[in-house]
Amino acid sequence: DVVMTQSPSSLSVTPGEPASISCRSSQSLLQSNGYNYLAWYLQKPGQSPQLLIYLGSNRASGVPDRFSGSGSGTDFTLKISRVEAEDVGIYYCMQALQTPLFTFGQGTTLEIK
Amino acid sequence: QVQLVQSGAEVKKPGASVKVSCKASGYTLTGHPLHWVRQAPGQRPQWMGWINIGNGNRRYSQNFQGRVTLTRDTSATTVYLELSSLRSEDTAVYYCARYYGDYEAFDIWGQGTMVTVSS
């Protein structure tokens, strides 16, 4: 299985400040079509995961533009340009390279200072 | 609108089976397989299997050693997850999720079904 590792495990951010989460995969997620098969999700307290970013850097419908995804191969980053109170929750990266054996990172908890 | 609506919470004893439903609506069901993902308390999500509502094709994660069965009711646009030989470690929230091929990601999730296994 492709192992996904996130860092940090948690972060506390002041509203209006930026935040960054790293995700590393044990195998390259870059496919021959030029896309990275990496998605980011946010799971707000008591809710289902919601898709933020797909194919490494594409924002899903309705996702604010303060969220951005970057990286390629085995190293990826999710950035929030200005954290808002509604961004609290657990962020997960997920690989779709070994479809359908999807695997998720262990999660990064974002809290507001 | 596109939505997945799951059945309610369950409490089961060890060794029993549980069956969870997921009703899909608002999109062409045959185009997007439905997957099941579970999340134990404080753990990362874990993929369990998928089923195509249209043709019934399915695949399971080997992590569940044959305890998982996915079925469908095409007329009711509903898929079912059955997990047998339950043990305490199966206590988790079970989600169905639509896999959107253009995104290579799960774009729509059900609200989740809490399954508690306790004697």
Residue B42: per-residue pLDDT: 94
Task: Tell me the C-alpha distance between A97 and A75, whole Å.
Answer: 14
Of A35, A51, A92, which has the smallest distance from its Cβ to B45's Cβ? A92
Count of CB pairs separated by less than 8 Å, A with B: 58
How do strand B10-12 and strand B113-117 relate by DSSP bridges? parallel
Q: What is the pLDDT confidence band of residue B27, given thresholds at 50, 70 and 90?
A: confident
Q: What is the pLDDT confidence band of residue A110, given thresholds at 50, 70 and 90?
A: very high
> Is residue B93 classed as helix, strand or coil in its secondary structure?
strand
The H-assigned helical ranges of chain A are none
**pLDDT single digits (tens) A44-83:** 999 999 999 999 999 999 999 999 999 999 999 999 999 9
Q: What is the pLDDT confidence band of residue A95, given thresholds at 50, 70 and 90?
A: very high
Residue A98: per-residue pLDDT: 86
Task: Tell me the C-alpha distance between A6 and A24, whole Å.
Answer: 6
Question: What residues in B contact A49, CB-CB < 8 Å?
Answer: 45, 95, 106, 109
Residue B119 CB burial class (10 angstroms; 0-12, 13-18, ≥19): exposed
Is the Cβ pair B44, A55 closer than 8 Å? no
Residue B55: per-residue pLDDT: 85
Residue A99: per-residue pLDDT: 83
B106 contacts: CB under 8 Å, gap ≥ 6: A39, A41, A49, A51, A94, B35, B37, B97, B98, B99, B100
Residue A30: per-residue pLDDT: 97
Is the Cβ pair A100, B35 closer than 8 Å? yes
Q: What percent of chain B has pLDDT over 70?
A: 100
Give which of A17, A26, A70, A64 is closest to A42, Cα–Cα.
A64
Q: What percent of chain A has pLDDT over 70?
A: 100
CA atoms A35, A37, A38, A43: torsion sign: positive
Higher pLDDT, A17 or B27: A17
**pLDDT single digits (tens) B35-90:** 999 999 999 999 999 998 888 899 999 998 789 999 998 777 899 999 999 999 99
* Among B residues 84-113, those touching chain A with beta carbons less than 8 Å apart: 95, 99, 103-107, 109-112
Q: Please provide the distance, in angstroms rounded to a whole number, between the alpha carbons at the two ends of chain B.
A: 40
Mean pLDDT of chain B: 93
Q: How many residues does chain B have?
A: 119
For the record, the structure tokens of B41 come out as 């308390």
B30 contacts: CB under 8 Å, gap ≥ 6: B52, B53, B54, B55
Report whether A6 contacts A108 (CB < 8 A). yes
pLDDT exceeds 80 at position B31: no
Report whether A27 contacts A97 (CB < 8 A). yes
pLDDT exceeds 80 at position B7: yes
Q: What is the pLDDT confidence band of residue B111, given thresholds at 50, 70 and 90?
A: very high
Give which of B48, B51, B79 is closest to B65, Cα–Cα.
B48
